[in-house]
Amino acid sequence: MKVYFVRHGESEYNAKSLFQDGKVLLSEKGKQQAQVLAERFLNIPIDIIISSPYPRAKKTAEIINKKIKKKIIFSELIGERKMPKETIGKYAYSDELIKIKDLMRKNAKNPSWHYSNEENYSEFKKRIDKFFKYLNSLKEENVLVVGHGGPIRMTILNIMFSGKDIDPEIYYKFNELFRITNTGITMCERHKDGRWDLWTFNDINHLGENIKNKQ
């Protein structure tokens, strides 16, 4: 099985460096990015598309599918991690948000801790575990997954790479170092023995010179 993970195109909030919820739409630039990405997938075999139902991911998947015309399954399991309500619409690098994210990071090992209404680390990990089991159950050999940076990195690091629970701090450090650009392609391959290979990470060749997308 080959799995092509794709982060959605630029959203309206990405363009302004704002924290977003599940309602934010693609920006005009994001739609253009998705159209360029769709052209690229004309030359990549795909049997099925699994997409986050969030509008920014859903629209990206639909734009791609206008070209490749495959079955799309929308799954909450690959949706973005839900953040505290206090972060939504706020500038991503503000002191307030940095403090909230620091608290979440410091308490990541406590499965019962919440700042407010967010999905904590333990809940997030369990959801992505379920997604990975679902992914492994598919019979299709070439799968396109359209989602979000956090869930893609969690799938690769904490599940494909580790195969078991790892210290949350390693995940956070991985997130900081391995950034995923809007419409970046990450391709993994599963062998018959269940072992996974990571062949490409955040491939943005289709964007050419225009690679300055919000993280």
CATH number at residue 122: 3.40.50.1240
pLDDT higher than threshold 80 for residue 165: no
Question: Minimum mean pLDDT among 10-14, 102-106, 115-119, 172-176: which range?
Answer: 172-176
Evaluate whether residue 191 is within a structural domain: yes
Q: What is the mean pLDDT of residues 19-27?
A: 94
Tell me, yes or no, whether 213 lies in a domain.
Answer: no
Query: How high is the pLDDT of residue 163?
Result: 66
Is residue 98 in a domain?
A: yes
Please indicate, yes or no, if residue 215 is contained in any of the structural domains: no
Catalytic one of 8, 114, 191, 206: 8
Q: What does the pLDDT look like over 129-149, one tens digit per residue? A: 999 999 999 999 999 999 999
Average pLDDT, integer, range 32-47 = 97
pLDDT at 214 over 60: no
Q: Of 65-74, 75-84, 190-199, where does mean pLDDT reach its minimum?
A: 190-199
In a domain, 89, yes or no: yes
Structural domains counted in the chain: 1
Query: What mean pLDDT value characterizes the chain?
Result: 93
Give pLDDT, residue 209: 53
**Per-residue pLDDT averaged across 161-182, rounded?**
88
Task: Tell me, yes or no, whether 19 lies in a domain.
Answer: yes
Query: What is the domain extent for residue 136?
Result: 2-207
Q: Determine, yes or no, domain membership for 124.
A: yes
CA distances (Å), 64 to each of 9, 71, 115, 125, 128, in order? 11, 12, 37, 28, 24
Flag whether 214 is in a domain. no
Determine which one of 114, 148, 191, 206 is catalytic.
148
Rounded percentage of the chain residues whose pLDDT exceeds 90: 88
pLDDT band at 212, cuts 50/70/90?
Answer: very low
**CB environment 109-144: b (16+ within 10 A), e (fewer):** eeeeeebeebbbbbebbebbbebbeebeeeebeebb
Burial degree of 21 (CB within 10 A; 0-12, 13-18, 19+):
middle
Does the annotation mark 148 as catalytic? yes
pLDDT at 215 over 90: no
